[in-house]
A and B are shown apart, each in its own frame.
Chain A
Amino acid sequence: MEIFRERDGEVVIVRLTGRLDSSAASSAEDGLLVALGGVPPRLVVDMTELSYISSAGLRVLLVVAKKVQQQRGKLALFGLTPNVREVFAVSGFDTIFSIAADPAAALASVR
């Protein structure tokens, strides 16, 4: 998996690509936690190119979300592919995360 970061003002946008499974979990967690630079952090995760997520991947997102909450920051996801959306629905992660319809809505929700 590859992780790309860019900044839009105070918001860090992280783009996850490929598969987020146990082999990618550690680097993804590091990449996402590095993106929590600001206090409070404002993070948007672009998942349009994330084709697969396993339980190990879900745990990574949970750890990041918890960190953001502890630092009173904001986090939004957008661009969930149908596979990933199904995993979120079955696991109830869609009730924990703020999932925006598009990039603009995601940016607006964390500002």
Chain B
Amino acid sequence: MLSFVEETVLLLHDEDSGDFVQLPQSVFSVVIAGAALMDLAIRNRIDTDLERLTVVDPRPTGDDILDSVLSTIVATQNKAADASQFDISEALYDAATDADIYRERALKRLIRRGILKEENGRHLWVFRSRRYPLIDNTEQQEVRARLRHILLSDEIPDPRDIVLICLVAACSLLRFVLSADEIDARTARVEQLRKMDLIGQAVTKSASETDAIIHFAATTI
């Protein structure tokens, strides 16, 4: 099973172009950070409530991305004057710092697993370019089909589905899962599911704030 960080990188992959959907850097960073925190939560290394994020088990997971995020959180908590006040937003901010490194690691893993392959080429015969064609789309298709089913039905989702829906929505990638008409018809369902993970809520909030800042800058310059 792929980790949420790997799933996120794969969800950002555009099968047609062999490239990745471009997101504002800060949105991308917070989504990758959120995916890592959600992985740690599912693996019972951290727990959250409405006020706090708590490290409940600092032992390494064996996943170098997650262990890096976990050690960053532990270090920040140890330095904090009052660790009980450490919340999800702070952990997201900490983990987002190295999001590009985590993306590269996740990408290498997807290549090693035979899901993507790396192709080096030239753009306009001059500029080096790199593409990542999808070799095996089974995982991507299965995830999209599962999310589609959960979004279009009233079935109770499992915790993994909720996490993935939070991440897809935060990246504004619902269009890869549902048609425009379906998105319009199921807005309430999307909002219901996005609320169900507290880390997902923090990712949504942070990504929306970034979007708002970019929109404000674009419309006032």
Where the two chains meet, the residues of A that have a C-beta atom closer than 8 Å to any C-beta of B are 21-23, 25, 52-56, 58-59, 62-63, 65-66, 69, 86-87, 90-93, 95-96
Set of chain B residues within 8 Å of A25, measured between Cβ atoms: 44
Which of A58, A65, A87 lies in contact with B156, CB distance below 8 A?
A65
User: Which residues of chain B have C-beta atoms less than 8 A from A65's C-beta?
Assistant: 156
Shortest beta-carbon distance from A23 to chain B in Å:
7
Size class of B's contact patch?
20 to 34
Question: Does B48 have its Cβ within 8 Å of any Cβ on chain A?
Answer: yes
**Cα A52 to Cα B48 with chains together (Å):** 12
- Most chain A beta-carbon neighbours within 10 Å: one of B49, B158, B159, B198: B49
- In the complex, the 6 A-B pairs of residues with the closest C-beta atoms, listed nearest first: A92-B195, A22-B47, A66-B156, A55-B48, A59-B159, A22-B56
| Contact sample, A vs B, 26 pairs, CB 8 Å cutoff | A22-B57, A52-B49, A53-B49, A54-B47, A55-B41, A55-B48, A55-B49, A55-B198, A56-B44, A56-B47, A62-B157, A62-B158, A62-B159, A65-B156, A66-B155, A66-B156, A69-B155, A86-B50, A90-B195, A90-B198, A91-B195, A92-B195, A93-B196, A95-B192, A96-B156, A96-B196
Interface of A is mostly: helix
Most buried by B among A59, A65, A95: A59
- The B41-77 residues at the A interface (CB cut-off 8 A) are 41-42, 44, 47-50, 56-57
Q: Which residues of A contact B42 (CB under 8 A)?
A: 59
User: Residue B168 at the A interface, CB < 8 A?
Assistant: no
**Across the two chains, which residue of chain B brings its CB closest to A53?**
B49
* Per-residue A-contact encoding for B177-221, CB less than 8 Å = 1, 0 else: 000000000000000110111110100000000000000000000
